Amino acid sequence: MNMVMNGLRPIDILLVEDSADEAELTMQALSEGRVRNRVHWVEDGEEAMAFLRREGRHAAAPRPDLVLLDLRLPRMSGQEVLLEIKQNPQWKRIPVVIMTSSDDEKDILSAYDRHANCYVTKPVDLDKFLEAVRSIEDFWLTIVRLPAA
Amino acid sequence: MPEFSPSPPVEILLVEDSRDDADLMVEALNEGTLAHRVTVVEDGEQAMDYLRRRGAYADSPTPHLILLDLHLPRKNGHEVLTELKQDSLLRRIPVVILTSSDNEKAILGAYELHANCCVSKPADQEQFAQAVRRIESFWLQVARRARWQ
């Protein structure tokens, strides 16, 4: 199977998640995946924008190959971050996977309307949560051909 | 994992001009466990007629997933993608680009036009079939669908 960038450098994932517990679980599941990756964790929407803009402590931040974005975030919501990414000519091609506990059909519609690449609901059950992250890792890092830049 | 209702069957639209590739993909989908119906159209014009329910396609259902080749006669994959992702309703359908091309520019272009993801067609038949099944299981069983009808 063709894996983009395999071996050349790790895949940079921007994880935007305000819950430390869920961020740790996500990072754990991603570190067990087959494809080498580096997770950059930020806790709110403004921090995510600072990372993308390489502001402040993110001056040396890489361009993420993939964004995992929670919707319910302090300061700036996930939907706002999504809009900023998908309206910006520099960033719009970065795949954004929404990972949220929200099951609300309105959130799902609104995310796809704003060109989210994909929407996944985080299960409450621990094992199922890990399984969902593994499914995302398996699909987006091994099957999908990510944009090269 | 989101709950998945088996009936009515999941509708998949496959836009592929190569008969061999289309046959292989339909067969791979049929080996999966998910109740589905695949419609194959051979060029971009037919794909848009199907999605807009024109002519012979007046009664066509809205697909839950579109598998789109980039190199198509009459109207190419990039043009189909542009029309779909500019449409306020059709943009909610996940579009997976399948390409045999190693042309980075074509892939970047597809992400620019808001393709949900791009997948390379492996040359090996068994790997190709496996990729198709993994696309199906991720998009129809892990990712959430936008429901608007």
How many angstroms separate the CA atoms of A65 and A10, rounded?
10
Distance of CA A24 to the CA centre of its chain: 14
Task: List chain A residues with CB under 8 Å of B4.
Answer: none
Which stretches in chain A have pLDDT values below 50? 1-6
**A121/B144 Cβ within 8 A:** yes
CA distance B60 to chain A (A): 22
Give the pLDDT band of residue B7 (cuts 50, 70, 90): low
Residues 2-31 of chain B with CB under 8 A from chain A are 2
Report which DSSP code applies to A98.
Answer: E
**Average pLDDT score over residue span B19-46:** 93
- A107 to chain B: nearest residue by CA? B146
How many angstroms separate the CA atoms of A35 and A5, rounded?
10
For the stretch A67-100, pLDDT in tens is 999 999 998 999 999 999 999 999 999 999 999 9
Helix (H, G, I), strand (E, B) or coil at B5: coil
Interface residue A115 vs chain B (CB under 8 A): yes
ipTM: 0.92
Helix (H, G, I), strand (E, B) or coil at A57: helix
pLDDT the model gives residue B3: 55
pTM, entire model: 0.93
For the stretch B55-97, pLDDT in tens is 999 999 999 999 999 989 889 999 999 999 999 999 999 999 9
Task: List chain A residues with CB under 8 Å of B1.
Answer: 123, 128, 131-132
pLDDT the model gives residue A25: 95
Element at A124 (helix H, strand E): none
pLDDT the model gives residue B19: 94
**Average pLDDT score over residue span B109-117:** 97
Q: Tell me the angle at which helices B19-31 and B125-137 cross, rounded to the nearest 10 degrees.
A: 60
Decide if A79 contacts A71 (C-beta within 8 A): yes
